[in-house]
Chain A
């Protein structure tokens, strides 16, 4: 088991390395850089700034060849934990992102939990009572869940909440709590807000997982070992949970691997719509104004954390399935 984890962990390194390169290339793709747009902006206000801009360019090393810039960025991260500087905010990237990353992952993990709690029982029910009314209802909602884009659902829910329940929309806490320290009341207010993004981000994932669980379980339900268990005299419920569900759970667990990236992706879009204090709006803004180190760091860290999440799901899978462990 230890060897397995070590092997998978080592596997991560090239992936993360690749991510860092791809990220860097992507943020370098747009023609020009932040200083060009800054110069244009300042030029509009009539200030002659060529000297200032050139000085800044020198300072940030923006005129250097790409591989040197990459090298500088990477060594900064690895040796000093320095992710560079956010041009727009004129602050180190690390000062800007941690809070927001925390929220992004808090929401993603809550969503994962929500998806599991919804998909597992419904998926089992749907498979066992195949072609029943309940199965059709679950299947139908599963399809609808997959068909509604996250941001559209977010807009609809915001509209409904505002129009019919008069709830303040957007953000994770009501405006009056924004600058207050944490308290019981603020926490309750947080709970009142956070369910909405969790629900919105989780719906499509839950819909997908219900279908996966149903299909997995249908594959297992008519296996000979189920007949054996029945021939032993076990009750249907007992044998269902102990044998086919247990086996069907494995591919289900391995789905964390791909569901986590989609949750993070979904969260980013929904955050833009709902104006959540997470990475989404920050990343979008950074990309649009070519605040390259901020954008690059966000993509890199979000990807890194996702890869770690995937690793955890693999370990979990090996833990529950002896067949994988022994390979």
Chain B
């Protein structure tokens, strides 16, 4: 069951405001516009799900926030305003890479967990060491205190015999335990935002559910915001408060979780929802798939990027201009079907 979204004051300032963000990859073969003009708000204490197929740029968007996009990727435009707890505002997009300011935010205010818990942990360093390292990086504590806190954290993420596991190497733990250790590490400095990049994709189904529950639980406990990146609608239904749907580097629809499932507005969102099996389907019924394939990243269609696969494409409109996010009941959508001006043209 989806959680009941907490009542938030719409006038309250979001914790993070992303405006017109562009992250481009300057590859040998050409320019890949992985993130192309994204506007997004991340609010305190809420879970935002970023939904999209692989390669749509959702991971790059998340990594852009922490400024950990690998070369040849680079932020080429837009801003990421972070409103810190002490009232200061920092434009993360403009911060110098590797600057002290940026580093003090990473891992402390905003932390991140990744898809592959095995390869995301240092392979030949003890788990405990990797957690205490994070703690001591951001806070003035002794080694003994850091160790105590780390063991405490390991216990809180549900790792049995935490003192023993503190001395373990990543390869000695199971996938689920590793992801728990990752979460313990990410939360060790009580961040205000946890970015989780497909944290359950590499895990088996039962472990997936446990990890999602754990994240939801800890979110309430730590009073933090969670940005969860996923391609799994089931995950969205389970944990999201708000949802943003991404396609080819753009956000095509923003909505709260109820709005998304009840009144999906964008043809892409609708197609995604249609491709999920439902109870009551007959076994002979074929699942509708979205027709066509995601265009090659170097060959972005002009106008609306989804038009090559859209069932409702309007020649002369969709290929001329790029649709912008426009408010609709329950959220915002970037589609000419919902754009009053288009019909007047």
Contact = CB atoms under 8 A, between A and B. Distances in A.
Contact of B121 (A222, A225, A323, A326): A225
Given A232-B134, A246-B125, A323-B171, A227 B104 contact: no
Contacts of B107: 231-234
B108 to A, nearest CB: 6
B185 A232 contact: yes
Interface in B86-132: 98, 103-108, 111-112, 114-116, 119-125
Contact of B98 (A227, A235, A246): A235
A233 B125 contact: no
Nearest to A130: B71
A236 B138 CA distance: 15
A322 B120 contact: no
Given A321-B124, A323-B124, A233 B119 contact: no
Given A225-B123, A246-B124, A323-B123, A232 B133 contact: yes
Contacts of B138: 233
Nearest to B135: A232
B122 A229 contact: yes
Interface residues of A, number: 24
B113 to A, nearest CB: 8
Contacts of A228: 112, 114, 120-122, 182, 185
A326 B170 CA distance: 13
Contacts of A225: 119-123
B122 A231 contact: no
B119 A231 contact: no
B344 interface: no
Interface string B148-191: 00000000000000000000010110000000001001000000
Contacts of A326: 169, 171-172
Contacts of A322: 124, 169, 171
A243 interface: yes
B112 A243 contact: no
B103 A234 contact: yes
B146 interface: no
B66 interface: yes
B133 A243 contact: no
Nearest to A250: B124
B12 interface: no
Given A246-B124, A320-B124, 17 more contacts: A227-B70, A227-B114, A230-B106, A231-B66, A231-B107, A231-B112, A232-B133, A232-B134, A233-B138, A234-B133, A234-B137, A242-B125, A246-B122, A250-B124, A322-B171, A323-B124, A323-B169
Nearest 10 pairs of A and B residues by beta carbon: A233-B107, A232-B107, A233-B106, A224-B120, A233-B103, A224-B119, A231-B112, A228-B120, A232-B134, A225-B122
